[in-house]
Structure 1
């Protein structure tokens, strides 16, 4: 006897829909079994389909955040378990993030191993919003350490590489930020071949070195402008390479503190394609919480006026969510709303090579979407066709 499978259909009606490419009015988003079945006319809906009236709202692809250190009062560095990852994902779902990479800041070999094990458990448990891990360090440059603990920064050795290669196939997406000062092109090539997206970051390297690492497989640049060699008139640096190389994506923190809005606008206009600049939050545990501060590797981080800093004033991650970031690039930089939305959904999906599953509202892709008011206030967040947050 063959078991029958009931197809669960629902339709969202009344909203102005952005599918990641174009806007649709007077249509319905049709969801079947957690995936997008299509954007159809109201008269094309079958009888008996469950409908959700979203009249007057905007329906857009769910946000994808590739750099999330924490949320809901939890830092991945402090809590490597399924519940910790679940808390981080749920905190960011309040602001439209439907897929994210919990990010481990530079730490010990053992902490990294625990984070990877927790990520494997989170995937097995089907934690909503969990995409994989981003390992930011410890193989960085001390000269461009930012808020990373210099005592924990070190070269990538054979044991490190073996531990990372063992992650092959474990996650839907996996990213590592590394600096040429503490990794080799051969290591980057091996990581790329195993499925990692290698991101160049926290480095003082010059243009030629970045080009060599991109040729070896590095695909993205971590938080453009921050913790990297700048664009100079005789040495283009990491910033110059990121903008000049059409095959390098780049994340950017859109809070107005990490990068001046003028510099952001220049970078967006200068970026060579087809790869794009995408939004990351670099968010810490403060998102979705009332924390006034926390500790990182034993050092106190202070929260004040939208900034997170060490005692010496060094920026230590960001205190911003994805919806606020979208608003910033739309309202402050003057980007069209559709392009601001692509920076938070389609482009990070492309960077991670998951565009056949996420980042757009096209047939066959995951039904991850956000309902917002016309003034870009949150209404609800949906992952796999299920509502995970309602304002």
Structure 2
């Protein structure tokens, strides 16, 4: 997306002449959005709210809340595990904006205690600077089941230590989500993390349905990349999938790239879970680029036809972008408003930031995606800064 028009967040302005696709059908009558000081200050009809503001005519383009990605390892040629730094997060944010993603949880996969501590420190600093971009970090591992490890480095998979659980709880304002295999963790682990305010996500697990339900009872509220790296649904042993489908509270991320699951499973999951289902990318280094190989978890990974895999064929994240996940889901039969909810308000609710982002609402961060009828991104508003292409 080449940028032809940039409006500073310090300049109050109004967006007009757009088609709202906000995930809230009752908002179809909105024809103007006022943005001031990085937040939405008013919504309504142009006649009612524009007044003396500078107006930006979107010429009939579609508009939605900015997409929120709860699981993203890297993109734009960088990987958070490889370079745990502010610069990496800046590059990821810039790449995300090209796909309408304005908010993300930088995801650190299985690594050392030292790297986890460094990642939390870096994300704390970045969140302070840019709360509209990064509400926290997602730690995916290292407390996983070796039988469902996927691409994660076997040398770092382990049981949690009391000192690291203490560290997580002490930094729960920055550690938004932790993915773990409940059957591999000592009793009381999930209770402590969830009571501290961290979203515990079941993932890379071979748990039985009974064990997954026990994890939910202990406070787990999410599942990582549904259908991938978890015990499947069986007729006599429902597994983690069965526990998720049978739950009324467990949310789940799902990767709509056509490689991580069949499209039928996307539709089935949405039909059963509705607003508990959230689009994620699980993106790695090549997302948003034309890179053909890269390093991930100490292995050479190949990127071909949108698929990321090692020499054995094991999936290694994805090259998916949020706008592609949205377009794929709509193309495969899920209603547009439902898909937008999966990419915005459902994600915000899953991590308890729905009062700050995820909707077009007064007081929320001015994070907006702008695209045409073919779901080609045409612009974003990120923290009030408008970038628009012609």
- TM-score, structure 2 as length reference: 0.94
Q: Sort the Cα spacing of 1:85 and 1:310 in 2 relative to 1 into closer, same or farther, 3 A.
A: same
In structure 2, the partner of 1:18 is: 21
Q: Distance in 2 between matches of 1:297 and 1:103?
A: 13
Q: Distance in 1 between matches of 2:42 and 2:276?
A: 26
Deviation of 1:250 after TM superposition, in Å, equals 0.6
Q: Distance in 1 between matches of 2:128 and 2:266?
A: 38
Q: CA RMSD in A?
A: 1.8
In structure 2, the partner of 1:289 is: 289
**Higher relative contact order (Cα pairs below 8 Å, separated by 6+ residues):** 2
| Unmatched 5+ stretches in structure 2 | 1-8
Alignment of 1:25-40 (within 5 A): 25=29, 27-40=31-44
Alignment of 1:293-312 (within 5 A): 293-312=293-312
Q: Distance in 1 between matches of 2:186 and 2:357?
A: 32
Deviation of 1:26 after TM superposition, in Å, equals 6.4
Listed one character per residue, the Cα deviations across residues 220-261 of structure 1 (whole Å, up to 9, x for unaligned) are 000000000001000111001111101000100000110001
Q: Sort the Cα spacing of 1:390 and 1:55 in 2 relative to 1 into closer, same or farther, 3 A.
A: closer
2:138 pairs with one of 127, 130, 134: 134
In structure 2, the partner of 1:330 is: 330
Q: Distance in 2 between matches of 1:165 and 1:135?
A: 13
Deviation of 1:174 after TM superposition, in Å, equals 0.8
1:237 lines up with 2:220 in the alignment = no
- The 3-state SS of whatever aligns with 1:303 is strand
In structure 1, the partner of 2:84 is: 80
In structure 2, the partner of 1:346 is: 345
- The 3-state SS of whatever aligns with 1:88 is helix
- TM-score, structure 1 as length reference: 0.93
Report if aligned partners of 2:80, 2:88 keep a CA contact under 8 Å in 1. Answer: yes
Q: Distance in 2 between matches of 1:258 and 1:140?
A: 19
Q: Distance in 2 between matches of 1:297 and 1:270?
A: 34
Deviation of 1:36 after TM superposition, in Å, equals 1.8
Deviation of 1:380 after TM superposition, in Å, equals 0.6
Deviation of 1:341 after TM superposition, in Å, equals 0.8
In structure 1, the partner of 2:379 is: 380
Deviation of 1:25 after TM superposition, in Å, equals 4.4
- The 3-state SS of whatever aligns with 1:79 is coil
| Unmatched 5+ stretches in structure 1 | 1-5
